[in-house]
Structures are given as structure tokens and as C-alpha cells.
């Protein structure tokens, strides 16, 4: 059975940005792996660090379990996702355990450093999957085989300098958006925090609006997630694109996406 590994920064990032594609891949027979690098300890104005981290761990486990995903525990605190050896060793260990054909992660350029560093760690961990001399924590043997990486859309589809980022292709989530909402609904501790910190009337409404905004960039889909494929070098063959192959009936390529 082929596997897909979603690696995001914080609890609920997978739900907002990647869960529709995960659900669609699961429907085609993929084994689904779910990992947030940070524990969510700063996502509150009401609870102590240890209390909110425990709450968010339980919520993330419930969200992953609701779609039958294999859960991988966080490895650091919020705002402590740095591109450094100890974190890379831990993420690489998870990649070796999951043996993914597909890795889904954040955009390389996004509105906050945790997202961008989670992306960097994911990319390097996939690159190190087969290197015997790179020691990982916990220790796991290197793996052979190809992996293809895909980057989700940045928050609000814009880079930190406000430039609109066009996805390379869209995955139709119209029939999956309510499952995404149900998955996000497990993150109950985040409603008040997101209302306070980002001015969202409702995090569940916000998810629908985000997918609708991506869908509006396409020609066909009411709701969608957007993706860009990482350069193949060190990972797979130049023409490998297992995600769009598996989800061909849900995929629309973007004529506005420019490679040059």
C-alpha cells in the first residue's frame, strides 16, 4: 500500500491546508500519516503551556483518528520550529518509518517562520531518507525508493510580501469540505484563540472560505486545495507526479501557473 505523509507546523494546519487531499488519497487506497511538528502550546490566551499542549495533543489525535490516519507526535514547542540538526534527525526518522511515496507540507514562503521552517525540515528529511551516515532519532534504517514532495498554498494564497501565489494544480474538495470541517471541529480549543488572534468569526467558517478562495482561482471547482510540486532532484524521477495520477478525476492544472 502506498503511503502519504502530511507534515505541518501546528495542530489544525493539516486540517486547513491539506486534509481534503489526504481524504481523497485515502479513498484511492493510500495509507495516511499525520504529523504536526509543534505542540500548540502558544495557541491560547487562557491556559498554561502544559495544559493547552495536552489539550491540543488530544485534539490532534482525535482529528487524525477520525480519518484513520497514523499519528506522529509533535517534537517541539510553538515558535521553536528551527532548521537545526536535532529536529531534522527526528523528522527524518518519521519519514523513514512512514516510507511515503508522497510528502505534503507547507509552502516554502509563508506568513510565519514556523510554517517555512516546517517546510525546510520536511524537504531535507525526505532528502535524507536513504543516507546511512545521517543518524536519526529514534534510530531507524535508511529507506530506498522515490518520494515526491508537494507544497500547499500559503495562508490567504499570498507570500509574506503580499504577492498572489498561483498553485500549479487544484484538487477539488467540494465533496470533501464538510469532512474537512468535521476534522477541524476536533480542535475545539482553537475557536476562541483564532477569533482573538486573527479576527475570524468562526474557524469552521474560515476553513470553508479558504477552500472557496482557492476554488475561485480555478476554472471549475467551488472548493479546492492548491499544490505546487517540488523539484525532483534527490527525490524522484523528473516526470513523477503520483498525486495528480492518483487523483486525476479531482485535479485541474492551472493555466496561470508559470515555471519560467
Q: Where are the domains of the chain?
A: 3-253
Query: How is domain 3-253 classified at the CATH fold level?
Result: Rossmann fold (3.40.50)
- The dihedral formed by the CA atoms of 214, 219, 220 and 224, expressed in degrees to the nearest 10: -10
Residue 94 grid cell: 518519521
Question: Residue 219: pLDDT above 60?
Answer: yes
Give the tens place of pLDDT for each residue, 77-129.
Answer: 999 999 999 999 999 999 999 999 999 999 999 999 999 999 999 999 999 99
Span 217-241, mean pLDDT?
97
Give the tens place of pLDDT for each residue, 159-171.
Answer: 999 999 999 999 9
103 DSSP β-pair partners:
5, 149
What is this structure's pTM? 0.95
As separate numbers, helices (DSSP H) first and strands (DSSP E) second, the chain gives: 9, 8
Question: Residue 203: pLDDT above 90?
Answer: no
Amino acid at each position: 500500500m502506498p503511503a502519504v505523509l502530511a507534515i505541518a507546523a501546528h495542530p489544525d494546519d493539516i486540517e486547513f491546508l491539506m486534509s481534503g487531499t489526504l481524504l481523497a488519497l485515502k479513498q484511492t487506497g493510500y495509507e495516511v500519516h499525520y504529523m504536526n511538528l509543534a505542540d500548540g502550546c502558544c495557541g491560547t490566551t487562557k491556559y498554561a503551556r502544559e495544559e493547552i499542549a495536552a489539550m491540543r495533543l488530544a485534539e490532534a489525535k482525535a482529528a487524525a483518528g477520525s480519518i484513520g490516519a497514523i499519528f506522529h507526535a509533535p517534537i517541539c514547542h510553538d515558535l521553536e520550529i528551527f532548521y537545526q540538526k536535532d529536529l531534522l534527525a527526528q523528522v527524518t526518522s518519521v519519514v523513514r518509518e512512514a516510507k511515503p511515496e508522497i510528502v505534503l507540507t507547507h509552502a516554502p514562503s509563508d506568513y510565519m517562520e514556523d510554517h517555512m521552517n516546517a517546510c525546510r525540515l520536511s524537504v531535507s528529511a525526505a532528502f535524507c531518507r536513504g543516507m546511512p551516515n545521517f543518524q536519526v532519532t529514534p534510530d531507524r534504517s535508511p529507506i530506498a525508493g522515490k518520494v515526491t514532495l508537494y507544497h500547499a498554498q500559503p495562508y490567504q494564497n499570498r507570500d509574506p510580501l503580499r504577492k498572489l501565489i498561483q498553485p500549479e494544480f487544484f484538487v477539488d474538495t467540494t465533496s470533501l469540505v464538510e469532512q474537512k470541517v468535521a476534522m477541524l471541529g476536533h480542535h475545539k480549543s482553537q475557536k476562541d484563540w483564532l477569533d482573538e488572534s486573527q479576527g475570524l468569526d468562526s474557524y469552521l467558517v474560515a476553513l470553508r472560505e479558504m477552500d472557496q478562495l482557492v476554488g475561485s482561482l480555478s476554472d471549475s471547482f467551488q472548493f479546492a486545495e492548491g499544490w505546487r510540486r517540488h523539484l525532483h532532484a534527490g527525490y524522484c524521477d523528473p516526470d513523477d507526479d503520483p498525486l495528480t495520477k492518483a487523483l486525476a478525476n479531482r485535479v485541474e492544472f492551472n493555466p496561470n501557473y508559470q515555471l519560467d
